[in-house]
Amino acid sequence: MDYVGHSIGPVLNDGYTDDLQPTLSGRLPMGEGQLLRVYCNNVVVGYADIGTEGHWTFKPATPLEPGKAYDFQVFLLDSSGNELQPSNTYTIHTTELNHDAAPDAPVITVVHDFAGDHQGPVAQGGKTDDSHPDVSGTAGAHDVVTLSVTSPSGITTVLGSAVADSNGNWDYQLTTAQSITATLGEWTFSATATNTVGTSDSSAGYSVETVGSNADDITPPDAPTIFSAAETYDNGHLIGVKNGATIDDSTP
């Protein structure tokens, strides 16, 4: 159990903690009065009393060092002090203060199209004819960002990874072999950020629709313009009508 820093609570086996004197606990359904010998990295570091209903706790008397892995194991002792069946091994990794928290969730901010006549940022849900666009976003500084894409048929593929810079910006350029126009339709990118202590968080999806070459031009056409009108006289002759004028021809 971690009681230090911003991220407190249970520490999973093989997890990370910035509490250098974490509290170990467990339960043996053998009643009170028994004794546990506690090992850390195969060295005896103390003893834990088994209390009410077999619950026990142990807190290292000497702080652990940050940046290391520690394997804890306990042995139940018999009345003569002999070790009986050992427990499982529980591993924790120590970090500097507040370095055990989950990373900032990555965000995919833009998919950039560099192909065809219509190039530039592709909005969420927008169209692109670029078979290997550039994907960029933000994450925690120096996090490793792993980018994946899900095809129109629902198959998810890991594309690769990029390291966020000191400002948290990252960028990944799809390779020629990673074409997303082989199958036209909706492709969804997602990113997972992993920080320096190995904890991860994932982004929301960013979807684009792949289309044929130059079929991604979403520029609206020029608006139509009415530039003349004419009124028909009884003799069949036409006469121009000014914009805003009043006429009695029902079929000008």
Q: What is the pLDDT of residues 179-217, one digit of tens each?
A: 999 899 999 999 999 886 667 788 999 999 999 877 766
Structure-token pair, residue 162: 């990029």
% of the chain with per-residue pLDDT over 70: 78
**Over the chain, what is the mean pLDDT?**
84
Fold of 15-94: Immunoglobulin-like (2.60.40)
pLDDT for res 216: 65
Helix, strand or coil for residue 54?
Answer: helix
Q: Look up residue 9 and give its DSSP letter.
A: B
Predicted confidence at residue 17, as pLDDT, reads 86
Mean pLDDT on 57-76:
93
Whether 24 shows a pLDDT value over 90: the answer reads yes
Q: How many CB atoms lie within 10 A of CB 178?
A: 17
Span 207-229, average pLDDT: 72
* Cα 38 → chain centroid: 38
Convert the pLDDT of each residue in 90-137 to its tens digit: 999 888 776 656 667 899 999 999 998 889 999 999 999 999 999 999
Q: Which residue has the higher pLDDT, 59 or 234?
A: 59
Cα distance between residue 44 and residue 62, in whole Å? 12
For the chain, state the CA radius of gyration.
Answer: 34
The full set of domain ranges for the chain reads: 15-94, 107-210
| Interatomic CA distance for residues 43 and 46, integer angstroms | 9
Residue 231, pLDDT > 60, answer no
Rounded Cα distance between 176 and 190, Å, is: 19
Per-residue b or e along 230-251, where b marks 16 or more CB atoms closer than 10 Å to that residue's CB: eeeeeeeeeeeeeeeeeeeeee
Domain 107-210 sits in which CATH superfamily? Immunoglobulins (2.60.40.10)
Q: Is the pLDDT of residue 247 over 80?
A: no
